[in-house]
Amino acid sequence: MGISSAHFAALLNGMMWTVGLSLIGFIVGGSLGFVVALGRISRSAPVAWLASCYVKLIQGTPLLIVMFVLYFGLPIVGLEVPPIVAASIGITLFSAAYLGEIWRGCLQAVSRTQWEAADCLALSRTQRLWLVVLPQALRIATPPTVGFMVQIIKNTSIASVIGMAEMTYIGKMINNSTFQPFTTYMIIAALYFCLCFPLSWWSRRLERRLNVAHR
């Protein structure tokens, strides 16, 4: 039995779940990551320490283990979560840690003289951050942020191990019924390529444009 149009339609439906999970990871994880980035550069030692511990914990733990803990561990304490919820929380925590570090580096990459110049204008620390530093850091952060979106998309495939019906999980089900792993996974690879290549190209283009602007 070959790959039918119904199988391909199922893969496209799974791809929509992949895109949806990626958007959750980027939007919600990005919002949390911005808070983490601000915590990492905070003048408050406890806040900076907590943000640093969070980043080290998540970056030091495979995303697969994070999803396992959320899906299989929470029921132990009486919290039953469906696969989509566990996957969304896991990809959000993962994205927040890495985006927080990316943006922390971009904030600290802004010349210290910019902070000092804003201080001479009698701006508060919040005003210095929002009016002077963030606009410059945003330009630096755009290429690596777009590049990391590719990693988010590819890491959504890990959600298949907890039963979330995204593209990889659907592909596994199709393979079990058709016994054509090469064809099935080549189609999945092509669909991932269609999602990731435009972002990779855009990231490289933004990086080249930034490098030219700084010459």
Domains in the chain (CATH in brackets) are 18-165 (1.10.3720.10)
Residue 212: pLDDT over 60: no
Instruction: Locate all alpha helices (DSSP H) within 110-164, ordered by sequence.
Output: 112-120, 125-127, 134-155
Percent with pLDDT over 90 in the chain: 60
On whether the CB atoms of residues 17 and 164 are closer than 8 A, the answer is yes
**Mean of the pLDDT values across residues 134-148?**
87
Cβ–Cβ under 8 Å, residues 170 and 178: no
At position 11, the amino acid (one-letter code) is L
pLDDT band for position 204 (50/70/90)? Answer: confident
Nearest of 11, 161, 168, 173 to residue 86 by alpha carbon: 161
Mean residue pLDDT across the chain: 89
Question: How wide is the angle at C-alpha 164 spanned by C-alphas 17 and 183, nearest 5°?
Answer: 75
- What pTM was computed for the model? 0.88
Where is average pLDDT lowest: 17-21, 56-60, 121-125?
121-125
Q: What is the pLDDT of residue 162?
A: 92
pLDDT at residue 159, rounded to an integer: 94
Report in angstroms the alpha-carbon separations of 105 from 38, 98, 111, 128, 137.
Answer: 11, 11, 12, 17, 9
Residue 173 confidence class, pLDDT cut points 50, 70, 90 = very high
Q: Cα dist. 203→134, 140, 210 in Å?
A: 20, 12, 11
**What's the pLDDT score for residue 169?**
94
- Spatial CA neighbour of 155 closest among 95, 69, 81: 95
